[in-house]
Structure 1
Amino acid sequence: MTMTADHLRPDATDASRSTAGFIELDERWSTHNYHPLPVVIAEAEGAWVTDVAGKRYLDFLAGYSALNFGHRHPDLVAATIEQLGRVTLTSRAFHHDQLGPYCRELAALTGTEMVLPMNSGAEAVESALKVARKWAYRVKGVPDGAAEIVVAGSNFHGRTTTIVSFSTDPVARNDFGPFTPGFVVVKYGDAEALEAVITDRTAAVLVEPIQGEAGVVVPPAGYLRDVRRICDENGVLMIADEIQSGLARTGTLFALDHEGVRADLYTLGKALGGGIMPVSAVVGSSAVLGVLRPGEHGSTFGGNPLACAVGRAVIRLLATGEYQERSRVLGEYLHARLGELVGRGVAEVRGRGLWAGVELAPGGPSARAVSESLMRAGVLCKETHDTTLRVAPPLVITREELDHGIDAITTAIRA
């Protein structure tokens, strides 16, 4: 296709500024790898967004937990603007004055010893897998090329080729092979099944403390403690994917904290960038992360000055404990109110803190239909799979705003 001046000229016609016009542009020029709701957001603040036609919506999804602190939190915006006026990127070929403080502060917040800064959540997971394998060869003594990592069925850890290699979701896997070997899949929440597949070649167990994409699935009580015990007894690393569940979403800093469990490595992302920058990290033991040597792993943008400045502002917000407490208190209220719908169009409500999976009763509307109904009512939520509505409002939401959203869900399901 030959590009002409018309293709390169910004389209500023009135039609292109309409909802239909913007959606038409998306459909024409962007790859169709998402199925978004037909709303075009132009502005946002706190727990609210405004579309191109001026209609306001309550955000009940928070960017899949990337917007834990709401849209354009003033502290995060201020930190971003200040850093934009100084330096944004150096690459890791040089030191800069934000990286060391960021890593120290993130380690202190999370109670860990070392930080590996990356960009996306999938990059953090890929990095943790590489570190675990190298640790297995260099420290545990697993024969070269033989390391195995145990994962849980119905997992979601990202969409890279290696990560979808151990997905059990056919939509994520189909047509993307050949797949990366070295992974063993067991049923989520089944400690006996996990213990049965551990061998001398097992490097790590990778687990989501709460499975988000699967429908906000909380494992049975004691399961995560069993995972920790099994890892300890067999000299295996425990890797917790806290990209969605971490950083105050469930009422504690980590979802693992609910069971008093500590992981060897944590993968973090989403909220770590404050909804402004893609920021991720692997944090954990220096005995594990310390296996990496110069040239063995890296990222041009990982740990860049702008990302570190935003991340440091996020850490300052979390260090107060305010957002963990808001999630805990408002989360109890959210689950109590949503629980009233069980038996009235809802089969089950799962989750912790300000995070809920609303499982719709068989025979009723699809989760997509409920999401579309909510959109028309001015509340933005999203389905995961066909029967689950995923609820994850920003942690800055008020009780009154929470009531507004829950009332809309109640009306949409009953309708």
Structure 2
Amino acid sequence: MKDLTYRLPQKRSVQGPLPGPASQALAERRDNAVARALTPGLPAYIVDADGGVLVDADGNSFIDFASGIAVTTVGASNEKVAAAVQESVQHFTHTCFMVSPYESYVAVCEKLNELTPGSFAKKTVLLNSGAEAVENAVKIARAYTKKHSVVVFDNGYHGRTNLTLAMTAKNKPYKEGFGPLAGNVHRIPTSYPLRDGLSGKEAADRAITKIEQEIGANNLACVVIEPIQGEGGFIEPAEGFLPALVEWCQSNNVVFVADEIQAGLARTGDWFACDHEGIVPDLITTAKGIAGGMPLSAVTGRAEIIDAVQPGGLGGTYGGNPVACAAALAALDQMAELNLNGRAREIEDIIREELSPLLDTGRVAEIRGRGGMIALEFVEPSGQPDAALTAAIAARCKEQGVLILTCGMNGNVIRLLPPLVISEELLRDGLRVLVDAFHAVQA
């Protein structure tokens, strides 16, 4: 991969046992002041970040295979994004677009209308978080179709609000104790080739049959799906599954919503994961990587669907904040200027090269995903999910200075989400730590 310019040294360096004294002191303050529910995965407090590294309060430098959960696609302190934020914040921090509008909001909408799949007329609404984008997509679909039911899929993750919790599959830690949740949400079997052994057409036929028998197209406002599931395990559906769902939706006045919050914006080697099979959603939700770390999300889609909502029916005080919009314009420009789609594909090649020998151990059932969104599913010799092995590998990686995330309904998947600006040397170093950690915990 082409070398880029970095502000911080791109190297892994752990000075001693973790957490160090400065992070220990901060952890004590957290215990006294922060809600118990917020439990950081890394026992170190970050004071600086750049490229593919995170530096903590004790001077340790970690390889970042998390990107703030796919947020810092262009790096955590991208020079162009930082400059855009500084320029914007000197003029005004907020006015609320619904009260006194500004150009940067319009410019972000124009850019998303241009980048998202489909050649038809589009419009966009800007919001704060991924969950808020998904919830507004459902509102828009209901307003357009005059129907109420929502279909989501096994293993799906869509957020932590009341409605999006109902749409999310995993109970612990997300839904436990928070009911009752929103109604009119129906969960349907997805395509999980490793586990179901079905072709895309077979899995789609199963899903569509269940929708027609148990819900009915006349009651269904929208189908919401992640083109590659994130928290559920980076599950990539079999070829043909998504196109069949889109075709059925188009034939039945059902809005097809692609939740591209984690997979979109260069993460998978295309602007959107939908581009892989050329599917065109009616609505598409974006967040995470959109603004280089600033809070911003969006719903983009067919103009006639977006405009089914009455004036004043969408919005929010902070949605499309001007500073976040400035960051988004810079981040999107950086994705194009640095060819992060191409770089994501190079990252995938390197990940598969370094990790493919693990497939021969019998403990990795599959390496899956695309671009800079790759996962390993760990299993026992019997083929059953092995959450204990997965947790042990993740813990050892952190001890060695590599931050990785786990996911999956059974907690047996390691997901790799490096910043797409990571250097090849750093990427390979982190992957080799992962391989060594696997063998060490197996010994």
TM-score (norm 2): 0.85
User: In the alignment, is residue 318 of structure 1 matched against residue 343 of structure 2?
Assistant: no
Q: Give how far 1:106 is off.
A: 2.2
Instruction: Work out the CA distance in 1 between the residues paired with 2:125 and 2:21.
Output: 42
Instruction: Determine helix, strand or coil for the equivalent of 1:170.
Output: coil
Instruction: Determine helix, strand or coil for the equivalent of 1:249.
Output: coil
User: In the alignment, is residue 223 of structure 1 matched against residue 241 of structure 2?
Assistant: yes
Q: Give how far 1:306 is off.
A: 0.8
CA-to-aligned-CA distance 1:313-361 (integer Å, 9 cap, x gap): 1221233470001001221221232222113242221111111111123
Which residue is equivalent to 2:22? Answer: 18
Tell whether the 8 Å contact from 2:117 to 2:280 is kept in structure 1 after alignment. no
* Mean CA deviation greater in 292-301 or 43-52: 292-301
Which residue is equivalent to 2:207? Answer: 194
Instruction: Determine helix, strand or coil for the equivalent of 2:395.
Output: helix
CA RMSD of aligned residues (A): 1.8
One-letter identity of the residue aligned with 2:45: V
CA-to-aligned-CA distance 1:138-192 (integer Å, 9 cap, x gap): xxxx4xxxx2111101110001111112333221222211121111110112312
Instruction: Work out the CA distance in 2 between the residues paired with 1:354 and 1:46.
Output: 14
- What does residue range 65-84 of structure 1 map to in structure 2 within 5 Å? 65-84=70-89
Q: Give how far 1:109 is off.
A: 2.2
Identity %: 32
Q: Give how far 1:111 is off.
A: 4.8
Tell whether the 8 Å contact from 2:158 to 2:167 is kept in structure 1 after alignment. no
Instruction: Determine helix, strand or coil for the equivalent of 2:126.
Output: strand
Q: Give how far 1:407 is off.
A: 0.3
Instruction: Work out the CA distance in 2 between the residues paired with 1:88 and 1:324.
Output: 31
Which residue is equivalent to 1:10? Answer: none
- Picking from 105, 124, 129, the partner of 2:138 is 129
User: In the alignment, is residue 29 of structure 1 matched against residue 42 of structure 2?
Assistant: no
One-letter identity of the residue aligned with 1:376: E
Tell whether the 8 Å contact from 1:114 to 1:286 is kept in structure 2 after alignment. yes
Structure 2 spans left out of the alignment, 5+ residues: 1-18, 192-202
Instruction: Work out the CA distance in 2 between the residues paired with 1:17 and 1:321.
Output: 38
Instruction: Work out the CA distance in 2 between the residues paired with 1:296 and 1:217.
Output: 35
Q: Give how far 1:237 is off.
A: 1.0
- What does residue range 53-64 of structure 1 map to in structure 2 within 5 Å? 53-64=58-69
- What does residue range 257-336 of structure 1 map to in structure 2 within 5 Å? 257-275=275-293, 277-320=294-337, 322-336=339-353
Instruction: Work out the CA distance in 1 between the residues paired with 2:356 and 2:274.
Output: 23
One-letter identity of the residue aligned with 1:48: V
Instruction: Determine helix, strand or coil for the equivalent of 1:366.
Output: helix
Instruction: Work out the CA distance in 1 between the residues paired with 2:316 and 2:151.
Output: 26
Tell whether the 8 Å contact from 1:354 to 1:395 is kept in structure 2 after alignment. yes
Instruction: Work out the CA distance in 1 between the residues paired with 2:144 and 2:344.
Output: 36
* Mean CA deviation greater in 287-296 or 403-412: 287-296
Structure 1 spans left out of the alignment, 5+ residues: 1-14
One-letter identity of the residue aligned with 1:342: L
- Picking from 112, 116, 119, the partner of 1:110 is 116
Instruction: Work out the CA distance in 2 between the residues paired with 1:135 and 1:200.
Output: 13
Which residue is equivalent to 2:366? Answer: 348
Query: Structure 1 pair 376/158, CA: closer, same or farther in 2 (3 Å)?
Result: same
Instruction: Work out the CA distance in 2 between the residues paired with 1:284 and 1:321.
Output: 26
- Picking from 173, 179, 182, the partner of 1:180 is 182
- Picking from 366, 384, 394, the partner of 1:371 is 394
One-letter identity of the residue aligned with 1:116: V
Tell whether the 8 Å contact from 1:37 to 1:372 is kept in structure 2 after alignment. no
Tell whether the 8 Å contact from 1:109 to 1:319 is kept in structure 2 after alignment. no
- What does residue range 77-96 of structure 1 map to in structure 2 within 5 Å? 77-91=82-96, 92-96=98-102
Which residue is equivalent to 1:396? Answer: 421
* Mean CA deviation greater in 311-320 or 201-210: 311-320
Instruction: Work out the CA distance in 2 between the residues paired with 1:214 and 1:16.
Output: 33
Instruction: Work out the CA distance in 1 between the residues paired with 2:369 and 2:37.
Output: 27
User: In the alignment, is residue 384 of structure 1 matched against residue 393 of structure 2?
Assistant: no
Q: Give how far 1:410 is off.
A: 0.3
Instruction: Work out the CA distance in 2 between the residues paired with 1:150 and 1:193.
Output: 14
Which consecutive aligned stretches of 4+ in structure 1 deviate over 4 angstroms post-superposition? none
Tell whether the 8 Å contact from 2:123 to 2:300 is kept in structure 1 after alignment. yes
